Structure 1
Amino acid sequence: MEQTPKANRVHIGFFGRCNAGKSTLINMLTDQPVSLVSDVAGTTTDPVSKSMEILPLGPVVISDTAGIDDTTELGVLRMEKTEEVVKKINLAVYVLRTDEEPTSDDMHWLGLLKQNNVPIALFINEINDINEINVENKEKVELNTANTDKVELNTADKEKLESNTSAYIKSHKGLSDLATVIGSADFTSNTKRIELLDLLGGLTPLDVEGEQTLLQGLVEEGDAIILVCPIDSAAPKGRLILPQVQTIREILDYKGLALVCQTEELPSMINSLTHPPKMVICDSQAFDRVDELTPHTIPLTSFSILMARFKGKLQDLVAGVNAIKNLKPGSKVLISEGCTHRRQCDDIGTVKIPNLLKKQGHTDLQLEFTSGGAFPKDVSQYDLIIHCGACMLTRREVLRRIECAVVQGTPIVNYGVLIAALHGILERAISPFIDEIKG
């Protein structure tokens, strides 16, 4: 519980050409050997991600990407992977070298980041200039990413580097139009490391949760919240799933009372309380039974609906419910999950939801499934998208997927909204948020 979930961290992507110095910069900024560094071009192939704490940024996920000028046979596939990173990150660091002119590839990727509204920190690698200074001073410097403060340049040397970087930026005016901040990346200076971290810390990340919480506006000090967490064959052994853990933690943060039980124990828990609970939150798969067991004077919703409110646009997901009644034999439905896990015999996405649709008379549907980072660019072919609660995805990625569906005119719902609608209890399940949805 003490660790920030990966999906709630600020995601920072590092971009640039092969041997621009991305991996070395990551190791310098993090003060750890996160990325493999080599003079061999193309050392970084697929994106490499690492969760960590970096002050003043706090909890982050660092993603090192392949060089954008990768000309190997797998280069096209690697660029597709890099493009996926662009769509998920909250901040971008782009690395150029003072001894290399910006190419059309550089401008393309900087433009793509700008097009996606990602704040860009452009760091100019001065390594060639530093080597020239060292040659002039007849000093041989061994660049060691585990000991980045070996070299302390004198004032004259620092002024020379700043002058070279300034001249580089002025000679390529288009860079200033694309980047949010620009800094010179002297990998040998610990002082420069702090300066670059401050530049990153001054940026406003795109589409992060920020101060918003799962239970914002729903819980106050002293409120009792009952969480119904069924333990079935799909439940992980020895632990709760992430949305349940996050909800418990937030109740405690609000100084509320988190009461946890399984479905059939709900009535006895309610009866044991002196005052009715403020709310009951259940696993969506138990919606119908929990609805029967919970007096209608007590608000009821699900973890999945809370996640939909927290991560994306609940009103769009609720609006997608109207498409359910229009499904007919042959309709194409995409069922998408944000995580990748081993399928159980009663898996919710591939088994329970399809069976629930059949019980409601929606037979002979063309079902397709995606998981993890996979999500089609073209969703116009589908009559409906059914998405999970997205606890493992960043808010930016969830908003992108919802926008992708809305722009292409494809209705989208999430698991909790769909299941509540099919059981005829959607109005009750979204009643705690009805003002937000209408607004």
Structure 2
Amino acid sequence: MTDGTNGTGWTIGFGSFPFMLSGCSSMQTTPKSLRLQIGLFGRTNVGKSSFLNLVAGQDVAITSPVPGTTTDVVEKSMELLPIGPVVFLDTAGVDDVSALSEKRLQRTAAVFDRADVVVLLVEPDRWTAFEDRVLDEAARRNLPAILVVNKTDVTALSGELCERVRSHAPLAMECSCVEAAGRERYVHAFKERLLRACPEELLRTPALAGDLVPAGGLVVLIVPIDLQAPKGRLILPQVQMIRDVLDNDAAALVVKEREYAALLGRLNRVP
């Protein structure tokens, strides 16, 4: 086998075949491009930021009874099991009429360009043209849309909203973002709808090399440790490769480039 590294990645040995994987500057953080992008839309003060905080289990976004508290797109990356890495895009209200509303609405509209899934939050007793616009734009872009009826702890669903929920099932749900005791139930319901909404290819993690390795196989991963390598940790592509090998029921041996020849001499089979 011929050794070769690019200073930030791997040289991976399968018998006599070297495979190169480029590095990543984000260390062990999944890049946003590899995360499911979830856009949160709705009128001002409908509870978008509260819903984000509910799902995250922490105060990610500022909430207030004053309409228009969210003035720009708030991004929150997290691991949402069993879906995987996601990023929530909390937008300003689609009915913003403040002095800066035009710029805010432009940035809100731009979230459609990034979103893989649209989440529309509404109140139990009010449906307006703004909600129709969000769903129409999602449909035009062929984006799945989840309908979340918030504040059900204080207001009962109107007849119109009941009909909307029925027509949007099974991608509709009710919740109360201030009901701490129900958080687990609401988050579980949201995950279920997210799994239903997303095409399988959006949720499937692409194989890095696992599809090249037989179950029970042995892979040697050669890691360059130089002045540019982060101290005390591996970079993201290296961590991902180890996980990919393990997920495909193979074994991984990790060595530095100068230890490769000595390692081969200690093995009773060619990796």
Would the TM-score normalized by the shorter structure come out above 0.5? Answer: yes
- Residue 218 of structure 1 pairs with residue 209 of structure 2: no
Partner of 1:167: 160
Which residue, out of 128, 140, 163, partners 1:102? 128
- Residue 185 of structure 1 pairs with residue 175 of structure 2: yes
Counterpart amino acid of residue 96 in structure 1? V
Can you list the C-alpha shifts for 1:280-318, whole angstroms capped at 9, x where unaligned? xxxxxxxxxxxxxxxxxxxxxxxxxxxxxxxxxxxxxxx
TM-score under structure 2 length normalisation: 0.68
- Residue 121 of structure 1 pairs with residue 137 of structure 2: no
Q: Secondary structure of the residue that 1:106 maps to in structure 2?
A: helix
Partner of 1:276: 270
Counterpart amino acid of residue 45 in structure 1? T
Can you list the C-alpha shifts for 1:107-129, whole angstroms capped at 9, x where unaligned? 333223233333211123346x9
Aligned-residue CA RMSD (Å): 3.7
Q: Secondary structure of the residue that 2:142 maps to in structure 1?
A: coil
Q: How far off its partner does 1:31 sit?
A: 4.4
Can you list the C-alpha shifts for 1:139-173, whole angstroms capped at 9, x where unaligned? xxxxxxxxxxxxxxxxxxxxxx24x2x43354x79
Count, aligned residues? 239
Partner of 2:119: 93
Q: Cα distance 1:223–1:12, how it changes in 2: closer, same or farther (>3 A)?
A: same
Is the 1:119–1:180 contact (alpha carbons within 8 Å) kept by the matching residues of 2?
Answer: no
Is the 1:14–1:92 contact (alpha carbons within 8 Å) kept by the matching residues of 2?
Answer: yes
Partner of 1:242: 236
Q: Secondary structure of the residue that 1:112 maps to in structure 2?
A: helix
- Residue 19 of structure 1 pairs with residue 61 of structure 2: no
Structure with greater proportional helix content: 1
Is the 1:56–1:198 contact (alpha carbons within 8 Å) kept by the matching residues of 2?
Answer: no
Q: How far off its partner does 1:19 sit?
A: 1.0
Cα separation, 2, equivalents of 1:39 and 1:19 = 7
Q: Cα distance 1:226–1:187, how it changes in 2: closer, same or farther (>3 A)?
A: closer
Cα separation, 2, equivalents of 1:76 and 1:52 = 30
Cα separation, 2, equivalents of 1:204 and 1:40 = 32
Is the 2:46–2:122 contact (alpha carbons within 8 Å) kept by the matching residues of 1?
Answer: yes
- Residue 82 of structure 1 pairs with residue 108 of structure 2: yes
Is the 1:187–1:193 contact (alpha carbons within 8 Å) kept by the matching residues of 2?
Answer: no
Counterpart amino acid of residue 224 in structure 1? L
Is the 2:120–2:134 contact (alpha carbons within 8 Å) kept by the matching residues of 1?
Answer: no
Q: How far off its partner does 1:259 sit?
A: 2.8
TM-score under structure 1 length normalisation: 0.45
Is the 2:119–2:145 contact (alpha carbons within 8 Å) kept by the matching residues of 1?
Answer: yes
Which residue, out of 184, 189, 194, partners 2:185? 194
Structure with greater proportional strand content: 2
Q: How far off its partner does 1:227 sit?
A: 2.2
Out of 48-57 and 91-100, give the one that drifted further. Answer: 48-57
Is the 1:122–1:182 contact (alpha carbons within 8 Å) kept by the matching residues of 2?
Answer: yes
- Residue 111 of structure 1 pairs with residue 136 of structure 2: yes
Q: Secondary structure of the residue that 1:217 maps to in structure 2?
A: helix
**Pair member with larger Rg:** 1
Counterpart amino acid of residue 201 in structure 1? E
Cα separation, 2, equivalents of 1:126 and 1:77 = 28
Which residue, out of 33, 36, 49, partners 2:59? 33
Is the 1:96–1:102 contact (alpha carbons within 8 Å) kept by the matching residues of 2?
Answer: no
Q: Cα distance 1:231–1:199, how it changes in 2: closer, same or farther (>3 A)?
A: closer
Q: Cα distance 1:124–1:276, how it changes in 2: closer, same or farther (>3 A)?
A: same
Cα separation, 1, equivalents of 2:249 and 2:83 = 27
Q: Secondary structure of the residue that 1:130 maps to in structure 2?
A: coil
Q: Which of 1 and 2 has higher RCO (CA within 8 Å, sep 6+)?
A: 2
Cα separation, 2, equivalents of 1:184 and 1:230 = 51
Q: Cα distance 1:221–1:94, how it changes in 2: closer, same or farther (>3 A)?
A: same
Q: Cα distance 1:253–1:94, how it changes in 2: closer, same or farther (>3 A)?
A: same
What percent identity do the matched residue pairs reach? 35
Partner of 1:43: 69
Cα separation, 2, equivalents of 1:200 and 1:262 = 41
* Gapped regions of structure 2 (runs ≥ 5): 1-27
Q: How does 1:342-381 map to 2 (within 5 A)?
A: none
* Gapped regions of structure 1 (runs ≥ 5): 132-160, 278-439
Q: Cα distance 1:225–1:16, how it changes in 2: closer, same or farther (>3 A)?
A: same
Cα separation, 1, equivalents of 2:184 and 2:250 = 42
Cα separation, 2, equivalents of 1:222 and 1:20 = 52
Is the 1:56–1:197 contact (alpha carbons within 8 Å) kept by the matching residues of 2?
Answer: no
- Residue 62 of structure 1 pairs with residue 88 of structure 2: yes
Can you list the C-alpha shifts for 1:243-301, whole angstroms capped at 9, x where unaligned? 11111122234443323344455445445543322xxxxxxxxxxxxxxxxxxxxxxxx
Q: Secondary structure of the residue that 1:110 maps to in structure 2?
A: helix
Can you list the C-alpha shifts for 1:396-439, whole angstroms capped at 9, x where unaligned? xxxxxxxxxxxxxxxxxxxxxxxxxxxxxxxxxxxxxxxxxxxx
Cα separation, 1, equivalents of 2:146 and 2:86 = 16
Cα separation, 2, equivalents of 1:251 and 1:269 = 19
Q: Cα distance 1:78–1:204, how it changes in 2: closer, same or farther (>3 A)?
A: same
Q: Secondary structure of the residue that 1:44 maps to in structure 2?
A: coil
